[in-house]
Amino acid sequence: METTLRHIEFVVFPGFQLMGATAITVFEVANLILGEDAYHVRLVSEHGGKVPSSSVFCVETEPFGDATFDTVIFGAGMQPEPASAGLLDFARRAARTSRRLATTCVGTFVLAQAGVLDGCRATTHWAFAHELQDQYRRLKVEEDSIYIVDGTVWTSAGMTAGIDMALAMVEEDHGIDVARSVARNLVVYHRRAGGQSQFSVLLELEPKSDRIQKALDYAKKNLRRTLSVEELADVAHLSPRQFTRAFRAETRQSPAKAVEHLRVESARLMMEQGRHSMDEVANETGFADRERMRRAFLRTMGQPPQTVRRNSRSRT
């Protein structure tokens, strides 16, 4: 059966970042894997012609037209900038006419400014997530996700997360085997799960003092223990009250929440790297039972452990 040709527009504007455009390569390689033209990608901009990137390169583009496209993906700059009226109008039209509307990194701000994310869940680069939420209260920002699909709208985190998002699109269109083959040709993982954290827990917490860092290192090595505040405070050589106050001041989290995040991260790694049963994972990471682990995964990653495991197995 002949493959449906899907037309994709990748939208750029002056100062766009080249890394975000690497998602285009996913569709190019998919054509090679399928042995036919399953995707046709074109670069577009508000006025057409040469558009300078944030580095020294320019790209040749076609102007916005009246044609409709299967998928429209907005690129991103190095940081959020106010979008032109023409770019916002095009975003609104694309939201009405395309099957999928997507953006990479801080390009999410363009869709938010256009109003097409009102009522949607969305993500962006973690460094700008709070700014996005503060400016656009009608959307729900999930700063810890690699990418999010909400209806017809796809948003992704930092620049390389656009590759994960594009691989997920190929999987939706042509199945997991094709997406896996594309990823292997690109020498990347099949794709990171949409709910996967953008960064490690210890990097996220960034403790300022050696005492709090020592307590966190201890917790990470002893996840099977109860890890009460009293136990962690003793490791830090502080009273429980002093420890809790210092921990919150340095990490902006409670000790209990930080330990939960460490356990979720450790459980996810066990699922990705081995064939442990869910009960074994729960016991080894200190959750004690599967139901507690499931609730923690939903709070932290927005996905149950079974989904995380299924995505990790699809990469092998």
Q: State which of 186, 210, 244 marks the end of a domain.
A: 186
Q: What is the pLDDT of residue 302?
A: 74
Query: CA 152: distance to chain centroid?
Result: 16
Q: What is the pLDDT along the chain (316 residues), one digit of tens a residue?
A: 567 899 999 999 999 999 888 899 999 999 999 999 999 999 999 999 999 999 888 999 999 988 889 999 999 999 999 999 999 999 999 999 999 999 999 999 999 999 999 999 999 988 898 899 999 999 999 876 788 899 999 999 878 888 989 999 999 999 988 988 998 888 775 545 444 455 456 656 778 889 998 999 999 999 999 999 999 999 999 999 999 999 999 988 899 999 999 999 889 888 876 778 999 999 999 998 999 999 998 888 777 888 877 766 644 4
* pLDDT score, position 88: 96
Instruction: Please report whether residue 30 resides in a domain.
Output: yes
Residue 84: HSE in the Cβ half-sphere, 13 Å Cα cutoff: 10
Q: Which string of b and e fits 89-106 if b means at least 16 CB within 10 Å?
A: ebbebbbeebebbbbbbb
Work out the number of other CB atoms within 10 angstroms of the CB of residue 162: 30
Residue 21 neighbours by CB under 8 Å, 6+ apart: 10, 12, 59, 75
Residues 150 and 293 in one domain: no
Is-contact 147 156, C-beta < 8 A? yes
CA-based radius of gyration for the chain: 22
Residues 118, 167 within the same domain: yes
Q: Which of 153, 186, 219 is the last residue of a domain?
A: 186
CA distances from residue 18 to 11, 28, 51, 53, 75 in whole angstroms, order as listed: 12, 16, 11, 7, 9
Within-domain flag for 196: no
Both 96 and 240 in a single domain? no
- pTM for the model: 0.65
How many domains, the chain?
2
* Pair 139, 278 in one domain: no
Residues 114 and 214 in one domain: no
C-alpha separations of 239 from 54, 70, 130, 251 in Å: 51, 60, 33, 18
User: What is the SS3 assignment for 65?
Assistant: coil
pLDDT score at 316: 43
**pLDDT of the residue at 204:** 66
Q: Tell me whether residue 192 is in a domain.
A: no
- Enclosing domain of residue 212: 201-314
